[in-house]
Structure 1
Amino acid sequence: MATAEDTKRNREEVRALIADVDDGRAAALLRGALDLHVHSGPSTMPRQLDHLQAAEEAVAAGMRGVLFKDHHYSVAPFVPLMERVLGDRSLSMFSGLVLNNSTGGLNPYVVDAQLKMGAKLIWMPTAQAANHIRSAHRKVRLASNVQLRNSPGLTVVDGYGNVLDEVKQILDLVAEFDAILSSGHLHVWEIWRLFEEARARGVKRLLVNHPMYGLHFTYDDIRDLAAMGALIEQSAALYVDSRFNVFSPQELKEHILAAGVSRSSIGSDLGQVDNPTPVEGMRQAIKLCLALGFTDEEVRTMVADNPARLVGLIE
C-alpha cells in the first residue's frame, strides 16, 4: 500500500517527467480521445464540476467522447437532455449503471430498464462489492457528502464459485444489447468466473478498470484477461499529479505492457475536488506515457482508438 510519502514522491516525479513533453504534442493526441471514466456531478460525493461542465471541457479540448460514471445512479437518462443543451459539438456522451445496492444491486429488471433507456455500460458492484468493502478497510477514497446506510457486500458467485442465476440474466441482457460489461470492484477470482460466463453467453465487450488497484490482480491476470479479449483500462488518477496517486510512473509502463498497447486504454477516473479535472488528468496521462517512451501512435491507440472501438464508434 502506498504511503503519503510514496504519493508525494510519485507526484514530484510525474511533474518532472511531463514538464519536458511538448504541450502541442499532447494537445494533438488529446484531440479525438475518449475518456470512459468521468466522475462529474451531481453526486453523493464531492465533485468539482457537473456533467455539462465536464462535457464542455472535453469539447474545448477537441475530445471525441466521454462516459459518465456515478457509483449510485445512472447518468444515461440525462444524456439526451445534455445533447439538446450542448447542441452538435461532435462529442459523443455515454453512461451506464453500477450494480451497487443503492441502484438495485444485482437486479436484472433494473438492468433491462436502463439498457432500454440508453445505458452503454453495466458495471458490476463497486463501492458495495464485498471485495471493495474488505479492501477499503481504513481507506476513505470514496468518501461521500451523504452518509449512506451500511451495505451488505455484493458478490457475483456463490460459495462454490458458480455465477449467480440473477447475474446470468444480467449477462444475457448485456449480450442482447451489445453493451459493455465492466468488472467493477470485484475480486480478480470473481472476475475470471464472471468473464468466462459472459463470453459463453455472447458478451463481446469486456472492460477491466484499474486492475492493480483494489482488485488483487497479478501481471499474469492482466495478460490473460487481455488475451481473452478484455480491454484493460488504467486510471490516470492513480498515476498523475493527483491526490489519488498510488503508483510510480514506471509502474504505469509495466501495467500497460502487461496487457499490451493493443488491449490497453486510459480513463481519467477524475472529477473529485482537489484533483485535476478529467481533461487535465487525460492530458497529464498522455504526457506521462510519452515521457515513458510510448510513441504517439501507441498513445493514440490507448486514448482514442481502443476506447472508441469499445463503445462502438469504430469497428
Structure 2
Amino acid sequence: MSAATLDARSRDEQVSALLKGAVDLHVHSGPSAMPRILDHEEAQAQADAAGFRAILYKDHFYPGMAHAQMLEKAYPDRKVRLFSGTALNNATGGVNRYAVDLCVKLGGKIVWMPTFSAKNHIDKYAAKNKQAMAFPSTREKMVAPTPLTVLDANGKLTDETKACIDLIAEADIILAGGHLHVSEQVPLFEEAKARGVRKMLINHPTYLIDCTDADMQSFASMGVYMEHSICMFVENSRAKLFGPADLKHLIDVVGPDRTVLGSDLGLTEAPLPVAGWREIVSMLLDLQVSEADIRKMVATNAARLLNLES
C-alpha cells in the first residue's frame, strides 16, 4: 500500500472520528416546496450512520417537529436525535406569537425570524433579478411574498416581535436572526438579551445579512453565536461563495467558542449533508485548526444550544 493511500486512509479516519457526536442545526431535507436531494428519513439515516448526535430540520415554510418525532419513533435503533423549529415567514403567519407558542408546545428548539419573506431577502434578490425573484426556486409558483420586518415605522422593534422574544426566553430555545438585515438584528438581539433569551444565533452573517467583522465581534460579546453555512465553502455546491481562507478568517473574527457550523445542505446541485461535513472538517484540518476547536464548531457549541450537554 502506497504512502499516499495510507495518508488518505489516516485523514479519512481522522475526519470520521471528529464527526462522531456532530450536531447539524441546518439540514434542508424534504418534503419541501423547494427541490431537495434527500428527505427527512434519508437525512436521519445518513447522519446516524456517520455517528452524529443530532440534526435539526429546517424548512422555510413549515415546522418539522412532527416529522422529527415520528421518525424517532419509527426508527428507534437509530441513535441520532431529531429536532426542528419554526421560521416566521408568510406561510406561518409572519412574525407572530401564535406560531412561536405552537413551536414551543410541539418541542421546537429554534425560532428563525423571517427568511424568504424578510424584506431584506426580497430586496436583495429583486436587485439581482429585475424580472422576478431569482431565489427561492420552488417546485411550483407560489403566491408572491409580503415583505416582513421586525421594526415599526419608527425603526423600533414591534410589540409582536417582543411577544415572540418573551416566549422564546421562557422556553429557553434558540432565537435565530433568519435573513433580517444586520440593522434589524442589532435591536433584535439587544432586546432578546435584555428579555432573558440565552440562546442566540446569526445565520450566515456574511451572506445577505451584511455583517462586518466589527458587527460579528459586537454580537459575540453579547453571547450570540455565528453560524456559517458549509454549503458556501464546499466544492461542487451551487451555493459556493467563499474559500478556505475566508472560513479561517470568519472563525478567527469571533473565535471557535462563538462559532457554529451548519450544513445548510439538502439543496440541489450540492453535496449531501454528511459529505459536506466530511469536506469541511478536512478543510479545517488543512487550515491547521486544532481538533479541540473543530469539535467545538461541529458538535459542542450546537449541542449546548440544544441542551444536549453530557
Shorter-chain TM-score bucket reads: over 0.9
Check if 1:301 corresponds to 2:296: yes
Of 81, 84, 87, the residue aligned with 1:92 is 81
Task: State the match for 1:251 in structure 2.
Answer: 246
Taking the TM superposition and a 5 Å limit, the aligned residue runs for 1:126-137 are: 126-137=115-126
Distance in 1 between residues matched to 2:150 and 2:122, nearest whole Å: 14
Task: State the match for 2:148 in structure 1.
Answer: 154
Query: Conserved in 2, the CA contact under 8 Å of 1:124 and 1:185?
Result: yes
Task: State the match for 1:203 in structure 2.
Answer: 197
Q: Which residue identity does 2:272 align to in structure 1?
A: T
Query: Conserved in 1, the CA contact under 8 Å of 2:119 and 2:148?
Result: yes
Question: How high is the TM-score relative to the length of structure 1?
Answer: 0.92
Which SS does the other structure have where 1:148 is aligned?
Answer: coil
Distance in 1 between residues matched to 2:188 and 2:263, nearest whole Å: 25
Task: State the match for 1:235 in structure 2.
Answer: 229
Distance in 2 between residues matched to 1:209 and 1:199, nearest whole Å: 17
String of CA shifts for 1:83-119, please: whole Å, max 9, x gaps: 1111142211110000001111111112112210111
String of CA shifts for 1:219-253, please: whole Å, max 9, x gaps: 01111101110111110000111121011211111
Check if 1:49 corresponds to 2:38: yes
Task: State the match for 1:184 in structure 2.
Answer: 178
String of CA shifts for 1:4-63, please: whole Å, max 9, x gaps: xxxxxxxxxxxxxxx898111111111111111000000011001100100000000011
String of CA shifts for 1:185-243, please: whole Å, max 9, x gaps: 00001000000111111111001110000101100111110111011111000011112
Distance in 2 between residues matched to 1:96 and 1:300, nearest whole Å: 24
Query: Conserved in 1, the CA contact under 8 Å of 2:86 and 2:99?
Result: no
Q: Which residue identity does 1:284 align to in structure 2?
A: E
Structure 2 portions without partners, runs of 5+: 1-7
Task: State the match for 1:7 in structure 2.
Answer: none
Task: State the match for 1:5 in structure 2.
Answer: none
Check if 1:216 corresponds to 2:210: yes
Query: Conserved in 1, the CA contact under 8 Å of 2:233 and 2:244?
Result: yes
Taking the TM superposition and a 5 Å limit, the aligned residue runs for 1:106-117 are: 106-117=95-106
Could you list the structure 1 runs, at least 4 aligned residues long, displaced by more than 2 angstroms after superposition: 137-142
Distance in 2 between residues matched to 1:21 and 1:142, nearest whole Å: 40
Count of matched residue pairs? 297
Structure 1 portions without partners, runs of 5+: 1-18
Check if 1:274 corresponds to 2:269: yes
Task: State the match for 1:12 in structure 2.
Answer: none
Which SS does the other structure have where 1:22 is aligned?
Answer: helix
Query: Conserved in 2, the CA contact under 8 Å of 1:161 and 1:193?
Result: no
Check if 1:65 corresponds to 2:54: yes
Distance in 1 between residues matched to 2:142 and 2:117, nearest whole Å: 11
Task: State the match for 1:10 in structure 2.
Answer: none
Which SS does the other structure have where 1:115 is aligned?
Answer: helix
Query: Conserved in 2, the CA contact under 8 Å of 1:21 and 1:291?
Result: no
Which SS does the other structure have where 2:228 is aligned?
Answer: strand
Q: CA deviation at 1:123?
A: 0.2
Q: CA deviation at 1:71?
A: 0.3
Distance in 1 between residues matched to 2:77 and 2:304, nearest whole Å: 21
Query: Conserved in 1, the CA contact under 8 Å of 2:151 and 2:157?
Result: yes
Change (3 A) 1:279 1:141: farther
Query: Conserved in 2, the CA contact under 8 Å of 1:261 and 1:298?
Result: yes
Question: How high is the TM-score relative to the length of structure 2?
Answer: 0.93
State the Cα RMSD in Å. 1.4
Query: Conserved in 1, the CA contact under 8 Å of 2:45 and 2:78?
Result: no
